[in-house]
Structure 1
Amino acid sequence: MEKPWKCGDCEKGFISPSRLEIHQRSHTGERPFTWSVCGKGFTQLSSLQKHNLTHTNERPFKCCDCGSRFKSSRDLVSHQRTHTEERPFSCSHCTKKFRTSSNLQVHQRVHTGEKPFTCSVCGKGFTHSSTLKTHQVTHTNERPFKCSDCGTGFKRSGDLVSHQRIHTEERPFSCSHCSKKFRTSFDLQIHQRVHTGERPFTCCVCGKGFTQSSTLRRHNLTHTNERPFKCSDCGSGFKSSGELVSHQRVHTGERPFTCSVCGKGFTQLSSLQKHKATHSKERPFKCSA
């Protein structure tokens, strides 16, 4: 397509004089469209209109598949790709594909090593501004995002949204292989590794692969005598938080797993499952001799 209108500063071409005029504002710094509430200026009227929505709860763009609403048409288009699984932006280094150009841009920093966002407290660098913001909360005990149902506080709005689905029982992320549903896209991503066989987290000691980094961390403890999870009642140490939680029921007397036949309670699910066999004639363990 011919672009006859040229910028005198950088020689970039445009298809219309109005596009050229908007572009030239990037050189002059002119921002003729100003929002009266916060005073922020914009080079285009459309940018001002989109910005206006940040001062309201209005979300006029609705997804016809799931009903989710968005403040801009661009956000809606990006969201709809979660339903269509379209990934139009490809990485030139590894051919990995992404739903948005911004996700591609962030990903490419994996290859370039660029970490443009730096923590002012500890100097750690990050590839994305949102990751830096999340990290900065680790230097405080602030949990500004509160659940209106139970009062639990969270460090990130995304964690609050995920938590609230416990109350609503909403599971908006569906597996395309088996239709199982999940509360977060992260949980879906981990689940899909069951189908793909992907195990991206590998133990450097024995080479065993895992689907999650947390599972690898727990596994790493099997190669050491480290027991970092301590009981506050008796000082016993455990290799996982789950083992500690089970142990603490010895002190609290809590037995959350109850037999539906006789009402007997157990501290662990596995103990309940073994107990249930006493109510049946099932004998699943056969002698090979």
Structure 2
Amino acid sequence: MEGQSTVHSAEKPYMCSLCGRGFSRSSGLSRHKRSHSGEKSWKCGDCGKGFYYPSDLEIHRRSHTGERPFTCSQCGKGFTQLSNQLKHQRGHTDEKPFQCPDCEKCYKSSSELMYHQRVHTDERPFRCSHCGTGFKHSPALTKHQRTHTGERPFTCSKCGRGFTQSSSLLRHQRVHSDERPFQCPDCGKCCKSSGNLMSHQRVHTDERPFRCSYCGAGFKHSSDLTKHQRTHSGERPTPSVERDSLSHLNG
């Protein structure tokens, strides 16, 4: 009965010695500690991916088998996890039952609330084993670690170029096509990436967010600032840098 009372109350007596996060059960603390140690002893027989717990492995294997045992009663969409089904069903409603005690902003899932609260606490529980840099979310750590390992798991099917992020691959693939899905609301010009659109919109707003540390002059693009700063340093640009400085003009 003692174990049950801590689950239903706000009491979290089991504290992680590494990051200070509290848990209502010792099993929750044990599970959490593996995120710091990197131990993933449960391996997928299909792809070799490792997991901290057998339950996580079971959920992952559904990505290979296609099994989706949890179905939305509203639209019939299937899910590999019950938590994903419940989170999805809130998309059919405006229910946001998880409220931040600091700013009262509400969220549809407890995980979204937990991520948000790190804005207030600046907690960075995910540490890079190579350089010690901390991150608020595990996906950010995964992306960062590729700067150390050189891993580029997302490959372009057209040219074979590899990327550290799927978003970078999608952006690159537009080079091989004329797809320009980002349209300027002011003039209708279409761009291949949101970054190029944002850069273009400064034509309309005259925003100059890049400031010279020498003289305070403002520029619309970082490449223009880099070129300008050479008037102070006397450094001559390389041909590749000059090409990069023109890239924002091509959308």
TM-score interval (norm. to shorter): 0.7 to 0.9
Q: Quote the Cα distance in structure 2 between the aligned partners of 1:84 and 1:283.
A: 47
Q: Quote the Cα distance in structure 1 between the aligned partners of 2:126 and 2:88.
A: 26
What amino acid sits opposite 1:101 in the alignment?
A: P
1:211 alignment partner in structure 2: 164
Q: Does 1:74 align with 2:31?
A: no
Task: Report the identity percentage.
Answer: 54
Q: Quote the Cα distance in structure 1 between the aligned partners of 2:37 and 2:151.
A: 22
Q: Quote the Cα distance in structure 2 between the aligned partners of 1:242 and 1:152.
A: 28
SS in 1 for 2:17: coil
How far does the alpha carbon of each residue in 1:141-197 deviate from its partner, in whole angstroms, 9 at most, with x for none?
766666677777655443444344345443321111222222211011122223333
The aligned runs of 1:40-189 (5 Å cut-off) are 45=1, 49-50=3-4, 52-138=5-91, 155-189=108-142
C-alpha deviation, 1:98, in angstroms:
1.1
Give TM-score, length-normalised by structure 2: 0.80
1:285 alignment partner in structure 2: 238
Identify the structure with bigger relative contact order (alpha carbons < 8 Å, sequence gap 6+). Answer: 2
C-alpha deviation, 1:80, in angstroms:
0.7
Q: Quote the Cα distance in structure 1 between the aligned partners of 2:225 and 2:101.
A: 34
1:230 alignment partner in structure 2: 183
Q: 1:263 to 1:180 in 2, by over 3 A?
A: same
Report how many aligned residue pairs link the two structures.
240
C-alpha deviation, 1:59, in angstroms:
1.2
SS in 2 for 1:176: coil
SS in 2 for 1:80: helix
Q: Which runs of 5+ in 2 are unaligned?
A: 240-251
What amino acid sits opposite 1:162 in the alignment?
A: Y
Choose from 145, 156, 178 the match for 1:192.
145
Q: Quote the Cα distance in structure 2 between the aligned partners of 1:153 and 1:134.
A: 14
RMSD, aligned CA: 2.9
Q: 1:277 to 1:157 in 2, by over 3 A?
A: farther
Q: Quote the Cα distance in structure 2 between the aligned partners of 1:104 and 1:64.
A: 27
Higher Cα Rg, which structure = 1
Q: 1:118 to 1:216 in 2, by over 3 A?
A: farther
1:276 alignment partner in structure 2: 229
How far does the alpha carbon of each residue in 1:89-109 deviate from its partner, in whole angstroms, 9 at most, with x for none?
233444432112221111122
Q: 1:210 to 1:130 in 2, by over 3 A?
A: farther
What amino acid sits opposite 2:139 in the alignment?
A: F
1:15 alignment partner in structure 2: none
